[in-house]
Amino acid sequence: MKVKLRVFRGREGEGHYQEFELDVDEGASVLDCLEHVRFRLDETLVYNRACHHGVCGACAMLINGKERLACITKVRDLGEEITVEPLKNFRVIKDLLVDPSPMFSKLKLVGARMLKASEGYKVLDECVECGACYSSCPTYSVFKGFLGPSAIHFFAKEPKEEGLKAEETGLDGLWTCLLCRRCVEVCPYDVDVPRDARELRKEYVRVVLRMGGRCR
């Protein structure tokens, strides 16, 4: 299958697109295409990848304008012209590689730890921390103080003392979410963040009512 791969090259605030003509198997993924370019045509191409099976979330990027995991996105489902760009709402380090540290800071803020469970840390069961939800989120694009989708999901799932969850998230997580479901549309595992946000809002209201209507 012949494919024209159009790839963003450059850094934050400056860049261009480079085109590659490839001949790949119909079962090839977008990541396979990038690997072909990296190892056969241009070794300077920079991107992130690890597991190749949609488990680690490392290869999230914009593919034909939509946030996807490159390793599980098949070329045959996209057609003969494919445009690959870095995720939005993150600083572009180079080419397709972005800095995800703001997202991990949000996760740390609500108690998530991205280390081994054997060391006493907990990871999200459903979320692979790919950053697709932060890239697609219209709220996070204009308000970086927003907790963001995956942090809201973790906070909703994390067992805490009754009433504490709602009080801790405050306005940064509960009421700023637009419930637009763009994060759900791009999540490789269909994590329903708007549902989590609605549940947290209900809990917050219950806490405020028990406190006699006093709101932080």
Residue given tokens 């740390």 in the structure block: 108
User: Does residue 119 sit in the same domain as residue 161?
Assistant: yes
Last residue of a domain, one of 39, 68, 99: 99
User: Does residue 108 sit in the same domain as residue 30?
Assistant: no
* φ, ψ dihedrals at 72, nearest 5°: -115, 10
Q: Which domain holds residue 78?
A: 2-99
Report the domain count for the chain: 2
Last residue of a domain, one of 49, 65, 99: 99
Residue 216 inside a domain? The answer is no
Q: Is the pLDDT of residue 145 over 90?
A: no
Residue given tokens 């990848």 in the structure block: 49
CATH number at residue 134: 1.10.1060.10
Average pLDDT score over residue span 142-163? 79
Exposure pattern of 143-163 as b/e (b: 16+ CB <10 Å)? eeebbbbbbbbbbbbeeeeee
CA distance 102 to 44: 26
User: Does residue 153 sit in the same domain as residue 120?
Assistant: yes
Helix (H) or strand (E) holding 132: helix 132-136
- β-strand partners of 16: 9
Residue 215 inside a domain? The answer is no
Last residue of a domain, one of 99, 117, 133: 99
The residue among 7 and 200 whose pLDDT is bigger is 7
Q: How confident is the model at residue 213 (pLDDT cuts 50, 70, 90)?
A: low
User: Does residue 89 sit in the same domain as residue 143?
Assistant: no
Residues above pLDDT 90, as percent of the chain = 59
Structure tokens at 62: 């914009």
Residues above pLDDT 70, as percent of the chain = 84
User: Does residue 87 sit in the same domain as residue 105?
Assistant: no
Rounded to 5 degrees, what angle do the CA atoms 48, 54, 56 make? 55
User: Does residue 6 sit in the same domain as residue 95?
Assistant: yes
CATH number at residue 46: 3.10.20.30
User: Does residue 24 sit in the same domain as residue 64?
Assistant: yes
- The 3-state DSSP composition of the chain as helix, strand, coil percent (nearest 5) reads 40, 20, 45
Q: What is the pLDDT of residue 160?
A: 56
User: Does residue 111 sit in the same domain as residue 197?
Assistant: yes
User: Does residue 91 sit in the same domain as residue 16?
Assistant: yes
Q: Are 4 and 17 in contact (CB under 8 A)?
A: no
